[in-house]
Amino acid sequence: MYVNNEIGSIQPIEDIINIKNSVNKKIVIHVDAIQAYGKIEILPQKLGIDLMSISSHKIHGPKGVGALYINENIKVNQLLLGGGQEAGIRSGTENVSGISGFGLAADITFNKIKETNLKMTQLKTNFIKLLNENIYDFEIISPINSSSTNGSSANNSLIDSCLTNSSPYILNVSFKNVPSEVLLHHLEQQNIYVSTGSACSSKKTTQSHVLKALGIKPSLINGAIRFSFSTFNEHEEIIYVIQQLIIILNKIRKIY
């Protein structure tokens, strides 16, 4: 997984591939780049990635459309036999409208990727700054190389530097003594949509296996919320979220 979909950490793919090559170069590496594609720089040939999955909806293209990058040195067995579509790998009528929509979304995304990433980094940085200035008793779970992420005033330079290890599109925060499901529904009523984990596991009632693996305390896992940022978000919306968090958290903490 190139970018973790719950906490936004950017995995050291190049290091993993180098370790693999030092053991056995014939081992095939598949990378789940769903959260990375169109959001951070990916150079599959340079990195030595053999197979890589990407998805259209993550760059605002049509839902239900994806693609598989296959290194020219890798031979993939046929998935479906028949008409020979998709270079003989997967036969069946091709989804022309979906493919075209994905292609257009990719063109739009990559034509302004540097500009968008700068905007997203600023949004996430400002959100962290406003959290520290206005909210107490919280902990940022996403990779942040700062000691000031527990509700006290944060150093801006430290916050800026932390984003090199983390996607600017995801921020996982735990609010102490506040059940995440309760907070989620309160925010929902204010047209603020967050999640308590990855979208892939939204129907599960068990605690996040990702946060468990990180050794996060159960009490913090129970209060963990994932904020996802979009190129369509603006700074005014960040301010609105903070304003609503102040009101909602005070209300919930009086009950719990």
**Distant-in-sequence, close-in-space partners of 206: CB < 8 Å, separation ≥ 6:** none
Q: Any catalytic annotation for residue 162?
A: no
Tokens 């719950």, located at residue: 6
Under a CB-based contact definition with an 8 Å cutoff, are residues 11 and 31 in contact? no
Strand, coil or helix: what is 43? coil
| Residue type at position 176 | K
Task: Provide DSSP, 85-140.
Answer: TGGGTB-S---HHHHHHHHHHHHHHHHTHHHHHHHHHHHHHHHHHHHHHH--SEEE
Half-sphere exposure of 72 (CA within 13 A, CB side): 1
Choosing from 200, 212, 235, 246, the catalytic residue is 200
**Distant-in-sequence, close-in-space partners of 172: CB < 8 Å, separation ≥ 6:** 6, 7, 8, 140, 141, 142, 211, 224, 225, 226, 227
Residues forming the active site: 200
